[in-house]
Amino acid sequence: MSPGAVFDLKAYLNEKRLLVDAGLEACLPESNGLTSDLIRAMRYSLFAGGKRLRPILCMAGAEAVGGNGTDVLPVACALELIHTYSLIHDDLPVMDDDDLRRGKPTNHKVFGDPIALLAGDGLLTEAFSLMTSPEIMERVPPRTLVQAIRLIARAAGHQGMVGGQAVDIQWEGKSADQKVVRFMHTHKTGAMIAASVASGAILAGAGEARRRSILSYGEKIGLAFQISDDILDIEGDSETMGKQAGADEKKGKMTYPAVLGLDESRRIEEELVQGAIEELRAFDVRAEPLRSIAQYIIKRKK
C-alpha cells in the first residue's frame, strides 16, 4: 500500500480468510471411507464460520517483517485446527457443556460426545501433520520451521492454552484475584494469539529483536482480545455473539469485568491495545495490518 493511504482492514481480512478457507479445505477434504463420520465432525467445526483470526495474524506477522503471507499458509491453517480442537473440547459436557457455538449446535450435539472428543484429538494432531507438510518445507528452512512448531506446541500445551483451561475449570465458581484471572487469560487465549503472530514472523526469517517485538505485540492483543470478549459477554446480545450473552456470569466464570468491574476492564483493554501498537513503532507500513487488527479489538464493540 502507498504511504498515507487508509488501510482497508475489512478487505484485508476477507482476502486472507478466503486463502485460509481454501487451505483448510485442501488439508481436510470430505471422505467416504470408514472414518467418514470422524472427518465430517472435524469439518463441521472447522467450517462453522470462524473469523480465522489466528491464521490471519500468522500471515500478517510474516508480512510485517517483509515476508509473504501465503508462504506460511500451512502453519496459519494449523493454528486454526488447534483453535477449533480447543473449542470442541471446551464445549463438551465434561467441560463447559455448551449447546451453541457461533450460533450453531456444538460438535457433540451433532455427532455425539465420543466422536466430538476424537474430532478434537484429530484436529490437534492434524495441525502438526500440516506444519510438517511438503508445502511448507518448500518455502521455509527446516530449522526455522522446527522453531515455529516448538513455539506453537508450547503455546498450545500445558504451559499455555491447556494450562489456562485447567485453571479456568478449577477456579470456576470460586473467588479469584486479578493475578489468577490474568494467568488464566494469558494462557487460555493469549498464548496462542501471541504464538500465531510470532510464528509468522519466525517463518519469514525475522531476527531476534523483531521476533521479540512481534511476540510482545501478540501477548498484548491476546489479553486485550480476551478482556474484550468478556466485556462483549456482558454487553452484547446473543445474536452478534453466536452464544448466549451473560453465559460467563451464569457459570461463575472468572473474567476481568467480574474481578475488576467494567470501567477498569475497559481501561486495561485500551492500554494493552496502545501498548501493542507501540511495540510496532520501528516497523514500516507493512505492519499496518497488525496495527489495524489491534485497533479493531476495541472498535468492534462500538
Residues forming contacts to a second copy in the complex (CB under 8 A) are: 34-35, 37-39, 42, 89, 92, 94-95, 113-115, 117-118, 120-122, 124-126, 128-129, 132-133, 137, 141-143, 145-147, 149-150, 153-154, 156-159, 162-163, 165-167, 169-170, 180, 183
Q: Residue 2 in 3-state DSSP?
A: coil
Q: Which is nearer to a second copy, 124 or 215 (CB)?
A: 124
Q: Which is nearer to a second copy, 67 or 120 (CB)?
A: 120
- Take residue 174 and report the three cell numbers written for it: 470460586
Distance of CA 247 to the CA centre of its chain: 20
Q: Which is nearer to a second copy, 13 or 38 (CB)?
A: 38
CA distances from 119 to 46, 47, 54 (A): 10, 13, 20
* CB crowding 253-282: b at 16 or more within 10 Å, else e: bbbbbbbbeeeebbebbeebbebbbebbee
| Dist. CA 146–CA 140, nearest whole Å | 10
Q: How far is the CB of 268 from a second copy (least distance, A)?
A: 20
Q: How far is the CB of 111 from a second copy (least distance, A)?
A: 10
Crossing angle of helices 9-27 and 288-299, in 10° steps, is: 100
Q: Which is nearer to a second copy, 13 or 258 (CB)?
A: 258
Q: How far is the CB of 290 from a second copy (least distance, A)?
A: 26
Q: Which is nearer to a second copy, 125 or 175 (CB)?
A: 125
Q: How far is the CB of 282 from a second copy (least distance, A)?
A: 29
Give just the sign of the alpha carbon dihedral 164, 167, 171, 176.
Answer: negative
**Any long-range contacts for 139-148 (C-beta under 8 Å, 24+ apart)?**
139/71, 139/72, 140/71, 140/72, 140/203, 144/202, 144/203, 144/205, 145/75, 145/203, 147/202, 148/75, 148/199, 148/202, 148/203
Q: How far is the CB of 38 from a second copy (least distance, A)?
A: 4
Q: Which is nearer to a second copy, 147 or 295 (CB)?
A: 147
Element (H, E) at 17: helix 9-27
Q: How far is the CB of 161 from a second copy (least distance, A)?
A: 8
| Dist. CA 133–CA 140, nearest whole Å | 11
- Take residue 185 and report the three cell numbers written for it: 487469560
Q: Which is nearer to a second copy, 68 or 125 (CB)?
A: 125
Q: How far is the CB of 91 from a second copy (least distance, A)?
A: 12
